[in-house]
Amino acid sequence: MCAADAVVGASFGAITVGLGLPAWLPMLLSVVVFAGAAQFLFVGLVAAGGSPIAAVAAGLLVNARHVPFGFAVGDVLGTGWLRRVVGSHLMVDETVAFTLAQHEPARRRRAYWLCGTGLFLSWNAGVVLGTYGGQAIGDTDALGLDAAFPAVLLALLLPSLGTPPTRRAALAGVLIALAATPFLPAGLPVLLALAGVAAAGAGRTGDRAGARDPR
């Protein structure tokens, strides 16, 4: 899992510099953000001419799924504020899944910290290698890395499309983005699509709650 994480991180570094962005950006994002989907989305929107503010907002919407993650593994992080801050930063999909697969509290704690630390180190090592490798190559488009960007985003998205509701939400987001693209500046159609998907999800949750409580 760490090796696969490093490979994706290397592609992120190479793609970012290939899009003409500074070499420090992918490395800073990987340390401060440490969220692959949000990082790819941020870089793609900025490289397309979108506002950095819109790119940050889009990344926050993508990472909103970490809120229920926090409730699921909150007991693993401990009570000290430093452990909670560091542990929250290491919270990614793979870490949470690996932790929840363990049944004993002690094993859950070890799984979380070992997996989170390993993924953080491997991701950042991959990003550094990819960044400097992309600089050495120069024309990354010659290797097809321009096509790798949407391919990686799609690969990150596919595992979350396992149920009909998520597929419908994704389709709604695509349609919103396509409809808004001719009329809005770069970056805003994606942000609008994410907001629409989030609103649809909240509506479905409210409908289910209303069905359970007839009052």
- 8 in the same domain as 106: yes
With contact defined as beta carbons under 8 Å apart, do 92 and 73 qualify?
no
Mean pLDDT of 87-95: 89
DSSP state letter for 123? H
- Tell me the pTM: 0.68
- 179 in the same domain as 84: no
Output the pLDDT for position 32: 94
- 99 in the same domain as 67: yes
- 203 in the same domain as 120: no
Give the separation between CA 87 and CA 211, rounded to whole angstroms. 36
26 vs 101: which has the higher pLDDT: 26
- 154 in the same domain as 96: yes
185: left (phi over 0), alpha (psi -120 to 50) or beta: beta
Q: Give the residue among 51, 132, 41 at the shortest CA–CA distance from 140.
A: 132
- 196 in the same domain as 91: no
Question: What's the pLDDT tens digit per position in 153-198?
Answer: 566 566 666 777 777 777 777 787 788 777 766 556 666 666 655 5
Output the pLDDT for position 70: 85
* Predicted confidence (pLDDT) at residue 205 exceeds the cutoff of 50: no
Question: Range of 193's domain?
Answer: 163-215
- 121 in the same domain as 177: no
Give the separation between CA 128 and CA 120, rounded to whole angstroms. 12
Q: Taking CA 55 as the corner, what is the angle to CA 17 and CA 148, rounded to the nearest 5 degrees?
A: 40
Mean pLDDT of 15-26: 90
Number of domains in the chain: 2
- 155 in the same domain as 135: yes
* Predicted confidence (pLDDT) at residue 149 exceeds the cutoff of 70: no
214 vs 113: which has the higher pLDDT: 113
Mean pLDDT of 4-8: 83
* Predicted confidence (pLDDT) at residue 209 exceeds the cutoff of 70: no
